[in-house]
């Protein structure tokens, strides 16, 4: 639930295809959403925002974050480019092939 500001919530299928973009705004028509378990999603914050996320407990830090096979690993050098590509991506865009190519290039560079 967005408490101050606004953000955009992106939903993906298991193959890395962007299936929906949803704008959430404090006090707006949509200020919150319930995301079913095991649904890949990301947030885009273009300006400062305060939001609250509630998860079913008990909380287990080791299970807090999950990353899709088509997304770069946290901290990877390609993360900034990946996040930037999300900002204006149209619904229907596949991110799986971009990451696969990026990873292939990295693997090839390690061999050289």
Structure confidence by residue, pLDDT tens digits, 3-54: 999 999 999 999 899 999 999 999 999 999 999 888 999 999 989 999 998 8
Phi/psi of residue 109, each to 5°? -65, -35
CA angle centred on 35, ends 95 and 63, rounded to 5°: 80
How many folded domains does the chain comprise? 1
Give, as one character, the DSSP assignment of residue 61. Answer: G
Nearest partner of 8 among 19, 25, 18, 16, judged by Cα: 25
Q: What does pLDDT average to over the chain? A: 85
Q: Tell if the pTM clears 0.85, that is, is over it.
A: no
**Structural domain boundaries, residue 75:** 2-111
């Amino acid at each position: 639930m967005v408490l101050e500001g606004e953000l955009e919530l992106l939903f993906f299928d298991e193959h890395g295809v962007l299936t929906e973009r949803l704008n959430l705004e404090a006090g707006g028509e949509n200020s919150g959403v319930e995301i079913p378990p095991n649904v890949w999603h990301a947030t885009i914050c273009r300006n400062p925002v305060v939001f609250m996320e509630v998860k079913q407990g008990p909380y287990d830090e080791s299970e807090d974050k999950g990353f899709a096979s088509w997304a770069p690993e946290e901290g990877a050098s390609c993360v900034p480019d990946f996040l930037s590509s999300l900002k204006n991506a149209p619904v229907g865009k596949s991110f799986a092939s971009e990451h696969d190519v990026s990873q292939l290039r990295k693997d090839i560079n390690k061999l050289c």
